[in-house]
A = this chain, B = another copy of it.
């Protein structure tokens, strides 16, 4: 019987997983350039040589990390689609807000991937392909399943809704604007739903 050498879910060697966890903590907190490999090694509890042995260099480690986090956090929300589109929208928005706002790691990941999109355009594009596009396509399909909404352009509507979500997260949470431009979550969701529901 062989010894277990890889994680049953991620298929990763235990040491690699351990390194990645340390790397996530450091990179999410400080960004790419301000994170040193010394600190990653220390946080992960391994030596620097081990770190370099598993991931060739700093950029490769960072790529592996964003890939890992991008795959875990899919915005591909599947919720029931009740008859009333207003209820659907409110339920959907509330669920996705709660999920993201209770996941500070995801908020930091968003900041990171945006902030590094100049140096690492391919990573930002992977995020768009695997997360943003999937989520918007799913929402577009859902919107299209409600013909009574009489939407002129479902995809644009889906993008606007995602944009509203993003705006809230970016201003209130990521950029620390809560006290400067306070806005209650329920009021925001309510207003957004009413904007989409034309009656």
Binding site for B on A (CB under 8 A): 29-34, 108, 111-119, 121, 124-125, 127-129, 132-133, 136, 152-153, 155-157, 159-160, 162-168, 170-171, 174-177, 180-181, 183, 187-188, 190-192, 194-196, 198
Is B183 within 8 A of A159, CB to CB? yes
Is A188 within 8 A of B159, CB to CB? yes
With a cutoff of 8 Å between Cβ atoms, the chain B residues found around residue A166 in the complex are: 163, 166-167, 170
Is A31 within 8 A of B33, CB to CB? yes
With a cutoff of 8 Å between Cβ atoms, the chain B residues found around residue A164 in the complex are: 159-160, 163-164
Expressed in whole angstroms, the Cα–Cα distance for A45 and B156 within the complex equals: 47
With a cutoff of 8 Å between Cβ atoms, the chain B residues found around residue A115 in the complex are: 31, 111-112, 114-116
State how many angstroms separate the Cβ of A70 from the closest Cβ of chain B: 13
A-B contacts, 9 of them at CB < 8 A, read A29-B118, A30-B119, A31-B119, A111-B118, A117-B174, A153-B194, A160-B160, A160-B164, A164-B164
Is A175 within 8 A of B31, CB to CB? no
Task: Kindly identify which residue among B175, B192, B194 contacts A114, using a CB–CB cutoff of 8 Å.
Answer: B175
With a cutoff of 8 Å between Cβ atoms, the chain B residues found around residue A119 in the complex are: 30-31, 34
Is A190 within 8 A of B160, CB to CB? no
With a cutoff of 8 Å between Cβ atoms, the chain B residues found around residue A167 in the complex are: 159-160, 162-163, 166-167
State how many angstroms separate the Cβ of A133 from the closest Cβ of chain B: 5
Top 7 nearest A-B pairs by Cβ distance?
A115-B115, A163-B167, A156-B191, A33-B33, A33-B34, A153-B191, A124-B175
